[in-house]
Each structure stands twice: as C-alpha cells, then as structure tokens.
C-alpha cells in the first residue's frame, strides 16, 4: 500500500515537478553558452532548491485537500501515518534529485566557466559573498522544507498554504535578524565576509523541524473533515515544544553570547585615560566560530588585564571623572531613533545605562536621521542639538535655518542657545571639555553649492545668562571641530583654538597655514608653512597653551614646530627626510610634564597596488615607519623604534580578522604616554606593549 501511495503521488504531481526540472535543465544547458551571463547558473543552482522544495511541500500535501482526494485516501485500509510517510518520501525523493542537480549547477558554474573564474579572480568580495550564500544554503533548505510541510499539511487549500508559507518564512527571517541584533554578531551582513551565525541559524531551523513534527502529529490524530482542529492541534503542539526547547537552549545561548577577554581578536581606536592607567578600545571578538562586532574593551596597565565592558561603540574618556568611560549602546535594528548612552568605571568594570529622557523628546521633535546627533554635556547631561522648528517635510533643504538649542536632561526645559539669522544654519557643534560652553560653526546656505567653512562661535552653556556669543573665526572649516579629540584643536585651558583653513587654490604648490584664535579675547596668531605643504597635524600641550605642528614639506621632508601664541613665536625643533618616498607624519601625544613630544613618521612609494588573487596568496608591501621622541627644550630627537618596509602574504584561507589586521593595522601603533612616562604601543592589534624611552627596552603587557 505504501508503494501504491508513493507511485500515486509521483504521478499526480508530475506536472509541477516536471516544470521545475525543465527550468533547471535549461539553466544547465545555458551554462555552456558563451552568450549566457556567467553568474546566473551559479545563482540558479543556489536559490532554486529553496524555492522548489517549498513548492513541493505545499503541492504534495495541500494539493490533496484542494483536489478532494484526501477523504478517499483516509477511507482506504491504511493508517494516516502511512499516508504521511508516503508523501514525505515522495517529497524527499524529488528534493534529493533537485539538490543533486543544483549541486551540479554550482560545480558547473564555478569550474566549467573559465571566463567567470577570470572575471572573479581578482575580486575577493565575490568569493566572500558566494561563501556566505553557500553557508546559508543548507539552513535555508531545511527551513523551507519543514515550513512548507507544516503549512501544507495544516492548510485548507493550496492558495491558503502558499500564503501561510510566505508569512511563516518572513517571520522566521525576522526572528533570525532579531536574534542576530540581540547577540551582536555579524551573521547577517554578507559584505563583511564573516559568514553565517550557525548557532542562531540552527535554532531557527530547529524551530522549523519542530513545526514539521507538530504538523505530523496533528495530521495523524485528526480527521479530514476537521481542518481547523488539525491547525489548532499543530499550533498548540508547536508552541509547547518550542517553549520547552527554548528554555533548554537558553543557558547555552546566553553563554555563547558572552565575550570573555580571550575572545578578543581585533582592537582599534585605542584611547588612553587621562591618568594614563587604562586603555579603552573598540574591537571585535570571535567565539565558537561566531564573529561579534562593536565591543568595548578596557585594559588595565598597572595590573595587566583586559575585559569586555559591553556591546557599544564611540567610546571616550570623561575628563572630569577619572576612570569613567562613556560609549553608545547599539540600537536594535536602528531602533530606537535616539542614541542610548552608557558609562562604566574602569576599576570595578561595572556598566550602568544613563537615563536621559531628553533623548526621547529630541528624537520626536528633530526627525533628521542624516543630521549631527545631539551632543551630551559631560557634567549636566544636557543635550545640545541643531533644529529648525519651522521646517516641514516638504521644505527646501538649502533654505533650512537651524538654530542651536539646549535641552535639560529631564526634557522639560528647552532654550535657544544660539539664534542665527535668515539664510544661515548651524552646521557643527560640540561642548567644551568642562561643559561650561559650546562651540558652533554657522555657515551660509547657498543655492546649488555646499560650503565647507563658516563662522566659529563660542557661547555660554547657561541659557539663563543672556551673554552674547563670541565670534572666534570667520572662515573656520566645518569638519575641524569635534568632541572626540579636543587636544588637536583646543588648548588645555580652553582659551585658544587652532584650525587649518581650507585651501581653494588650483596651483600645484598651495600655501597652507594654521590659524590660532583666542576664544574669549582678541588674540590671534598665524603659523605659515612653505609652499607645497601637503599635510599638517596639530596637538596642544596638556599644561600650557603651546601648540605642536607637524607638516610634510614638500612630500619628502617632515618639519616639527613648537608654537606659542601668547609670545607669537614659532620654532622648528625637528626635521626628517627620506628621499625618493612620500612622507607622512602625525603628532601622537605629549608627555604629562609637557617636555616631550611623540611623533610618528611613515614613508612609502607611489606604486600601483598588486591585484588580489582569490585563488592563491598575494603579496603586499607595508610602508616604513618610525617613532620619534622630541625633547622640546633641548630640541633633541631620539628614534624609539622603527620598522622597515615589509612584504607580507595574504592567503585565501586566512580568516577575515587576520586580513583586516594585515591590511589596515601596522605592526606598532603608538597610543601615548602612560602615567610613568613610558610609551604604550599596540602591536598588530593583538598585543599591548610598553616602551621605555631611556633604555629602549620593550616589554609585553597584555596579549589576547
């Protein structure tokens, strides 16, 4: 009887399955045609099994109910479990044959098309995307097959089964993306090349298997004339079984989402605490083959240890609170619209969320996802933001007139801090380090043009004081002023501002300079540089208003100047050249006593980059790098460490985090001076080193 039922199912549903077969065979035949698009056979072989398996499950089960033959089958001397088994075997038989044909298409698309291999040979991203899709394929087939069987066996008709299948599949995808967002892994972004989150995908696929078993139980225990009873039994069984399974898996899932210190793989953007004891950094962790992004790590230098504070980004230290780091919490799939803030103490490493009701109100009244986010006062937690209360969604963008507003932490007081005239708008704003006032760049709105400069103002943070704003500069670049690194443009006493004017000259050797302006006074000083200067890096001393400026003149020489705007004097304390190479330099840090300066220099040649071969290892050349310590008083420079040009290889089997380290992170990344006057270095984003400037001895503090 089972054989007869199986043959009947194969004959009855031969027409729709034959159409699927003909489509795949046509794709196979077209795969050998030179006029056929190279990637289509590969895509058909990848995506066809999920679609065809879904069609088979619905047709083989819901088609019997739609055609009216299920009542006849139930009248035969055979059990309902035998009928279920026959349909399941027939569906698996077709699914297995289609899987084999799809595998043949994938192999043919990858190996039998040398043109495709040649096109993709030097584009590693194509192979990363293909790897991600191939990893998704087994989970997608299992999920589509089980969902189609469960919906087909408990549906009144084929049309109703297709609708339920589409809705159920969309819900499964939404659950997968939600679990990925809660876990903080990169298992949903195929562009990152990290692959699929196997744990979450297995949990979702297991839920589909449970739904299939629940449908089988309901099908075998209900009559054909009770479709609603069958659906009700299947739903109750699935809910109970899934709940028990979720409670059993929950402890393992929570443990798998934790990222202990040994799971850290890549750290970037290290920042030293004001007292030089801790280092906070954003990074990436891997555990059980899963890649976690947007993690905040803190390292203790005195008692060598590293810990993951929380999932977050944009971490920075607070100047007025020692050992306190502030960072943004990741949002759940871009919700809520406002940015949630958290703070943590580096000593006990306890994270607490900062409740700021004003963030809710600002997100409601200022509906601009593209605008600069609100700035948080480090002391009072008041919000600083730009807003045009008269703007409507249909208004013209160039005519916007955004004023500078301040809102109290509880969201009850809203005051206009800096009003602007018609035709102007606040383009950039930030609090000063102490939270006493705010800096704002106001630029003019012009039709058809986007200005990059504006007027720089300083305004008191107390809205009750009717103090007029202070004009500091008339042509200040908009992107120069940010609260992430005050020492590059604001002096330690918050009295002087340094910025680099935008150069609009079309000549090959434009003149560059650094303008220094007094915030609450009329003092001003201009630091000129020779013609042909390409880059300028500045940083203020932590003790007195003394500015260090490093420039490349012209392309083959580095010049370091120490500038005193009070005495209006600029002295050159160091020069470095490397003939035949382009030279870049940057000021890394000042020592705590304000006597020593840390400068990093790199030299490289202008050569065309080597193409990345996806089939074999390819070589890369790193630029030569040096780290100098300059004594400002004696004008003596000492090379602390150096790295000559190095050739390294990237293999196709290397994990993604290793490719990122080799490509974007140098061997030694200077962080700054610690509390003992030693230099901290980050090696290949995997080790924290300490360098003694007097003896040149380098010791390892931490490894991860």
Q: What is the CATH number of the domain that holds 584?
A: 2.120.10.10
For residues 673 and 596, what is the distance between their CA atoms, to the nearest angstrom?
10
CB 70 within 8 A of CB 64: yes
The total number of structural domains that make up the chain: 2
Q: Closest by alpha carbon to 551, among 574, 523, 522? A: 574
pLDDT bucket at 240, cuts 50 / 70 / 90: very high
- The three-state secondary structure class of 260 is coil
Residue 356 backbone phi and psi in degrees, to 5:
-125, 95
Among 473-487, 511-525, 615-629, name the most confident range: 511-525
Residue 242, Ramachandran bin (φ over 0: left; ψ between -120 and 50: alpha; else beta): alpha
Centre a 10 Å sphere on the Cβ of residue 563 and count the other Cβ atoms it contains: 21
Question: For the sheet containing 547-552, what is the strand order?
Answer: 536-540, 547-552, 557-564, 569-577
- Report if residue 691 sits inside a domain: no
- Report if residue 121 sits inside a domain: yes
Which residues does 557 contact at the CB level (< 8 Å), separation at least 6?
A: 575, 576, 577, 583
- Report if residue 686 sits inside a domain: no
- Report if residue 12 sits inside a domain: yes
- Report if residue 132 sits inside a domain: yes
Reply yes or no on whether the pLDDT at 138 is more than 70.
Answer: yes
Q: What is the pLDDT of residue 650?
A: 61
Reply yes or no on whether the pLDDT at 34 is more than 70.
Answer: no
Q: What is the pLDDT of residue 668?
A: 79
Reply yes or no on whether the pLDDT at 334 is more than 70.
Answer: no
> pLDDT digits over 344-397, tens only?
888 888 888 888 888 888 877 766 544 677 888 888 888 898 888 876 544 445
> pLDDT digits over 599-634, tens only?
998 887 765 555 555 555 556 667 788 899 999 888
Across the range 536-548, mean pLDDT stands at 89
Reply yes or no on whether the pLDDT at 593 is more than 70.
Answer: yes
Write down the residue that tokens 């009542």 correspond to. 71
pLDDT bucket at 37, cuts 50 / 70 / 90: very low
Domain closes at, from 239, 257, 275: 257
Reply yes or no on whether the pLDDT at 284 is more than 70.
Answer: yes
Q: Closest by alpha carbon to 654, among 148, 124, 242, 284? A: 124
For residues 198 and 452, what is the distance between their CA atoms, to the nearest angstrom?
46
Reply yes or no on whether the pLDDT at 568 is more than 60.
Answer: yes
Reply yes or no on whether the pLDDT at 175 is more than 50.
Answer: yes
- Report if residue 19 sits inside a domain: yes
Which residues does 396 contact at the CB level (< 8 Å), separation at least 6?
A: none
- Report if residue 580 sits inside a domain: yes
Domain closes at, from 653, 675, 693: 653
Give the residue numbers spanning the domain of 519: 485-653
Domain closes at, from 257, 275, 299: 257
For residues 498 and 491, what is the distance between their CA atoms, to the nearest angstrom?
8
- Report if residue 627 sits inside a domain: yes
For residues 518 and 495, what is the distance between their CA atoms, to the nearest angstrom?
6
CB-hemisphere CA count at 13 Å for 322?
4
Q: What is the pLDDT of residue 507?
A: 54
Query: Of 308-312, 346-350, 407-411, 478-482, which gets the smallest average pLDDT?
Result: 478-482
């Amino acid at each position: 009887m089972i054989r007869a039922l199986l043959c009947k199912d194969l004959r009855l549903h031969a027409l729709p399955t034959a159409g699927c077969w003909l489509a795949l065979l046509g794709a196979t035949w077209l795969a050998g045609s030179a006029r056929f698009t190279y990637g289509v056979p590969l895509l058909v072989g990848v995506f066809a099994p999920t679609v065809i398996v879904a069609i088979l499950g619905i047709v083989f089960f819901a088609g019997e109910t739609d055609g009216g033959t299920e009542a006849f089958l139930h009248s035969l001397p055979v059990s309902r479990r035998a009928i279920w088994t026959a349909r399941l075997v027939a569906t698996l038989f077709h699914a297995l044959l289609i899987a084999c044909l799809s595998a043949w298409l994938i192999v043919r698309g990858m190996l039998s098309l040398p043109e495709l291999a040649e096109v993709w040979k030097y584009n590693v991203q194509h192979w990363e995307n293909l790897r991600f899709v191939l990893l998704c394929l087994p989970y997608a087939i299992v999920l589509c097959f089980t969902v189609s069987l469960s919906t087909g066996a408990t549906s009144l008709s084929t049309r109703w089964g297709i609708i339920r299948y589409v809705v159920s599949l969309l819900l499964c995808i939404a659950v997968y993306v939600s679990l990925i967002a809660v876990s903080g892994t990169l298992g949903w972004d195929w562009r990152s090349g990290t692959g699929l989150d196997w744990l979450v995908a297995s949990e979702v696929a297991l839920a589909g298997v449970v739904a299939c078993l629940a449908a089988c139980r309901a099908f075998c225990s209900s009559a054909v004339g009770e479709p609603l009873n069958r659906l009700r039994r299947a739903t109750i069984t699935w809910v109970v079984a899934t709940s028990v399974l979720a409670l059993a898996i929950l402890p393992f899932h929570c443990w798998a989402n934790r990222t202990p210190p040994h799971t850290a793989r890549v750290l970037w953007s290290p920042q030293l605490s004001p007292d030089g004891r801790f280092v906070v950094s954003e990074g990436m962790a891997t555990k059980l083959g899963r890649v976690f992004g947007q993690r905040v790590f803190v390292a203790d230098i005195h008692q060598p240890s590293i810990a993951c504070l929380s999932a977050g980004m944009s971490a920075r230290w607070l100047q007025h609170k020692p050992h306190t780091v502030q960072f943004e919490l990741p949002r759940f799939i871009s919700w809520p619209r406002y940015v949630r803030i958290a703070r943590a103490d580096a000593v006990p490493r306890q994270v607490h969320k900062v409740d700021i009701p004003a963030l809710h109100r600002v997100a409601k009244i200022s509906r601009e996802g593209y605008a600069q986010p609100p700035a948080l006062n480090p002391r009072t937690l008041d919000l600083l933001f730009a807003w045009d209360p008269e703007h409507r969604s249909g208004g013209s963008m160039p005519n916007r007139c955004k004023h500078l507003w301040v809102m109290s932490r509880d969201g009850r007081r809203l005051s206009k801090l800096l009003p602007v005239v018609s035709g102007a708008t606040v383009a950039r704003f930030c609090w000063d380090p102490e939270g006493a006032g705010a800096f704002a760049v106001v630029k003019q709105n012009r039709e058809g043009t986007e200005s990059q400069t504006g007027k720089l103002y300083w305004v008191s943070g107390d809205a009750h004081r009717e103090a007029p704003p202070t004009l500091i500069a008339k042509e200040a670049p908009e992107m120069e002023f940010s609260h992430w690194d005050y020492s590059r443009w604001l002096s330690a006493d918050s009295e002087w501002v340094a910025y680099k004017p935008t150069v609009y000259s079309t000549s090959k050797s434009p003149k560059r300079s650094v303008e220094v302006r007094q915030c609450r006074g009329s003092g001003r000083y201009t630091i000129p540089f020779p013609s042909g200067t390409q880059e300028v890096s500045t940083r203020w001393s932590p003790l007195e208003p003394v500015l260090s400026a490093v420039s490349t003149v012209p392309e083959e020489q580095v010049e370091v100047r120490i500038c005193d705007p009070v005495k209006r004097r600029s002295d050159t304390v160091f020069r470095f050249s490397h003939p035949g190479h382009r030279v870049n330099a940057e000021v890394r840090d000042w020592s705590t006593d304000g006597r020593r300066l840390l400068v990093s220099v790199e030299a490289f040649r202008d050569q065309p980059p080597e193409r990345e071969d996806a089939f074999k290892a390819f070589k890369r050349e790193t630029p030569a790098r040096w780290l100098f310590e300059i004594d400002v008083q004696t004008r003596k420079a000492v090379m602390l460490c150096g790295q000559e040009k190095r050739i390294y290889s990237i293999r196709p089997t290397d994990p993604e985090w290793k490719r990122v380290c080799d490509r974007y992170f140098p061997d030694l990344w200077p962080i700054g001076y610690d509390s003992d006057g030693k230099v901290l270095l980050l090696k290949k984003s995997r080790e924290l080193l300490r360098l003694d400037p007097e003896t040149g001895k380098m010791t390892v503090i931490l490894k991860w």
